[in-house]
Structure 1
Amino acid sequence: MGKILLLGDRYTVSLFKMMGTEGEVIEDPFNLEKELDTIKKREDVDLVLITRDIYEPVREKVDGIIGNITKPLVTIIPSPFSESKPIDVKKMVLKALGFG
């Protein structure tokens, strides 16, 4: 079973680490593209969670990378500092199965 890796702010990464999830603090959202390039080469990671506040400023730059990654699955999650929206679980599952 592969690992879950969180990329986000210091607070959210700390919370996820308390639950046993690996995490990387991203201070500057413009480093997200480089971090994703590194992570997609790792065989031990199956799921990458990115906090919305880190993702939004560089959405246009990283959407192409995220769209071309087959493993790990990359998804955006809300953080305490971002506005939350309902998550479409059906869409996420279909994407994970290769239908989305």
Structure 2
Amino acid sequence: MGKVIVIGDKYTVNLFKLIGTEGIILEDPLELENTLLKIRKREDVDLVLVTNDTYTPVKEKVDNLILEQKKPLITVIPSPFSEAKPVDVKGLILKSLGFG
């Protein structure tokens, strides 16, 4: 079974480390692209979780890298410092069915 790596602020990374997840603290979001490229070469990693506040400033730079990546799977998660927005589940379902 592969590892999970969390990339983001020290608070979120340290919380995930408490449950045994490997973590990388990034003070500068501009380092995200290089960090993802390094992790991509590792065979032992299956999932990379990137905090939203680390991802958002460099979204345009890393979107293609995230979308083309099959393994490890890279996904964005909220952090305590992220602005929370409600999810319109009904709208998402309608859109996926072609009605939205």
Q: Which residue of 1 aligns with 2:42?
A: 42
Larger Rg: 2
Q: Runs of at least 4 residues of structure 1 off by over 2 A?
A: none
- Aligned residues, how many? 89
User: TM-score, normalised to structure 2's length?
Assistant: 0.84
Gaps of 5+ in 2: 93-100
Q: Which amino acid aligns with 2:54?
A: I
Please list every run of 5 or more consecutive structure 1 residues that lacks an aligned counterpart in the other structure.
Answer: 92-100
Q: CA RMSD in A?
A: 1.7
- Deviation of the 1:83 alpha carbon: 1.3
Displacement of 1:64: 0.8
Q: What is the distance in 1 between the residues matched to 2:41 and 2:83? A: 31
Q: Deviations over 1:65-93 (max 9, x none)?
A: 1111110001100000001244x7xx9xx
Q: How does 1:21-100 map to 2 (within 5 A)?
A: 21-85=21-85, 86=87
* Partner Cα separation in structure 2 for residue 5 and residue 81 of structure 1: 19
Q: Secondary structure at the match of 1:71?
A: coil
% of aligned pairs identical?
60
Tell me the TM-score normalised to structure 1 length. 0.84
Deviations 1:3-47 (A, max 9, x none): 000000001000000011000001100000000000000000000
Q: CA deviation at 1:52?
A: 0.1
2:44 & 2:14 partners in 1: Cα distance? 21
